Amino acid sequence: MPNEKIALFTIFGGTGDLAQRKLYPSLFKLYQKGYLQEHFAVIGTARRPWTDDHYHEVISDSLADLDADQKIVDQFASHFYYQSHDVTDAEHYLTLKKLSEKLDAQYGLQGNRIFYLAMAPNFFGTIAQHLRSENMLTDNGFNRVIIEKPFGHDYASAEELNNQLTATFNEDQIYRIDHYLGKEMIQNISAIRFGNNIWESLWNNRYISNVQVTLSEKLGVEERAVYYDNSGALRDMVQNHILQILSLLTMDQPVEFTEQDIDVEKVKALRSIRPLKPEEVADNFVRGQYADNGDVKAYRQEDKISPDSNTDTFVAGKVMIDNFRWSGVPFYVRTGKRLADKFTRIDIVFKRPIVNIFNHDDVRANDDDATSLEPNVLTINVEPTEGFELRMNAKAVGQGFATTPVKLNYAHDSEATANSPEAYERLLHDALNGDATNFTHWQELASSWKFVDVIQQYWDEHTPEFPNYCPGSMGPDASDELLQKDGHQWVYKN
């Protein structure tokens, strides 16, 4: 039986979509696996006046897809309590405090508190402030706060939010969610790099030509139009997920595989990203917005989106890292809504052999000059397939001597993948363990926002020609041209 974790969760935004889609199922899986047993309780709060019974029904409904034994579902749901709560009203925190203390005694929770802020970010500061002023933190156990994205809208607002939080919590009590860091294959980046001499010894500008990170989505904005229209793809995906992935791909080897050592290396990597000057933005970053294609509506026709919205639903960019390891290697990143398919992949494109001895007509090429040999590509498939692919040149079968690219392929088997925890389950488990390795730390965020702010500001000041790509494509042509002008191309093409 796993080591039981003991804690009281207080979920602000307990009636919301995130709680129902992600948090309750993840907590339930931790319960099924025995990480949560008798000594846990959950208070769900939101403004609505729900009863505990109704809350239990909602919890039970949120687990419907898991096909679990109803008796276990009911046992699990009995640990949940609902408290109607206005986050701006100090009185309400006193009620919450009393309930917390009662549950602490009832379930033997040893003063361990996890506050989960799963609601609009403009309330994070108020909640943190009240948790302190109404003495909601305990002295005898741990106090941790888990924060959902977005963490700020730009550097200034992120800093302000951080100041509000750190007035109540220390940095080591703050768990900022980036759910990509909970994904199996994103965590695997470190295993591949630091567990295999063949990769780590080639992981630099002498052998790597360029790196490509693609987070592609097939769906549009769905129900999140209001949030998304204020955010756009750059803030929604690049500032957080993509830059976090880049930091894991580019950081130096940490002294030990610990939260502190990894954070030190990630911060160094992010600070080494070459900042763009406003006049360099247009050459290095491409934005897009989807048109309609008869089957799906254009972004500007979506519900709650203004017909002249200039929000980016696609971004492609070139990021340079100015350090000894990466100088000269472009990192191309792209993400967007309504693209060809839903997948995430990372392509590490190696330099070609310097001389192609198989074809005498070929020029003697240095690094990236074209020889007819294809470059080796290591692909990390993050989703939906989880695994790796390595493209190599081999002899084509048959008479004569010609080379042809072949692929070595590994994918986690479907049974292992089905049993592997979902990102939120993994992250909740880490937070219960006090392990913030797979959460975003403030210095990382600060560097990411500073990089992204320059691009966003330039875009805000210049009107784009939108819409500029078709649903089902891989974004505007300018995204391909971004690589072509460096003599490269996207490994994944539609």
Residues lying near ligand BG6 in the complex (CB under 6 A):
179, 217, 236, 344
CB of 387 to ligand BG6, least distance (A): 17
CB of 456 to ligand BG6, least distance (A): 16
Q: In terms of CB distance, is 21 or 277 closer to ligand BG6?
A: 21
Buried-state track 212-229, b at ≥16 Cβ within 10 A, e below 16: bbbbbbeebbeeebeebb
Marked catalytic residue, from 85, 153, 241, 441: 241
* 241 in active site: yes
Q: In terms of CB distance, is 29 or 179 closer to ligand BG6?
A: 179
Q: In terms of CB distance, is 60 or 344 closer to ligand BG6?
A: 344
Q: In terms of CB distance, is 179 or 488 closer to ligand BG6?
A: 179
CB of 431 to ligand BG6, least distance (A): 18
Residues 59, 26: Cα–Cα separation, whole Å: 11
CB of 179 to ligand BG6, least distance (A): 6
C-beta separation of 204 from 327 below 8 A = no
CB of 166 to ligand BG6, least distance (A): 24
Strand partners, 332: 212, 318
CB of 473 to ligand BG6, least distance (A): 18
Instruction: Count how many residues are written for the chain.
Output: 494
Residues 387, 103: Cα–Cα separation, whole Å: 44
437 CB-near residues (< 8 Å, 6+ apart): 258, 259, 262, 263, 430
For 108, phi then psi, to 5°, come to 65, 55
Residues 280, 305: Cα–Cα separation, whole Å: 30
Q: Which of 117, 8, 25 is closest to 425 using CA atoms? A: 25
Residues 50, 45: Cα–Cα separation, whole Å: 9
CB of 335 to ligand BG6, least distance (A): 9
C-beta separation of 259 from 233 below 8 A = no
CB of 70 to ligand BG6, least distance (A): 29
Please give the residue whose beta carbon sits closest to ligand BG6 in the complex: 236
157 CB-near residues (< 8 Å, 6+ apart): none
Residues 33, 37: Cα–Cα separation, whole Å: 9
Instruction: Convert 127-175 into a string of H (helix), E (strand) and C (coil).
Output: HHHHHHHCCCCCCCCCEEEEECCCCCCCHHHHHHHHHHHHCCCCHHHEE
For 198, phi then psi, to 5°, come to -60, -35
The DSSP symbol for 237 reads: I
Q: In terms of CB distance, is 26 or 344 closer to ligand BG6?
A: 344
CB of 329 to ligand BG6, least distance (A): 25
> How many CB atoms within 10 Å of residue 43?
21
- Give the orientation angle of helix 155-166 with respect to helix 124-133, to 10 degrees: 10
Q: In terms of CB distance, is 329 or 382 closer to ligand BG6?
A: 382
Residues 303, 17: Cα–Cα separation, whole Å: 19
Q: In terms of CB distance, is 104 or 386 closer to ligand BG6?
A: 386
Q: In terms of CB distance, is 104 or 148 closer to ligand BG6?
A: 148
C-beta separation of 119 from 15 below 8 A = no
Q: In terms of CB distance, is 343 or 350 closer to ligand BG6?
A: 343
Residues 252, 194: Cα–Cα separation, whole Å: 10
Cα separations in angstroms, 262 against 182, 248, 259: 15, 9, 5
Catalytic residues: 241
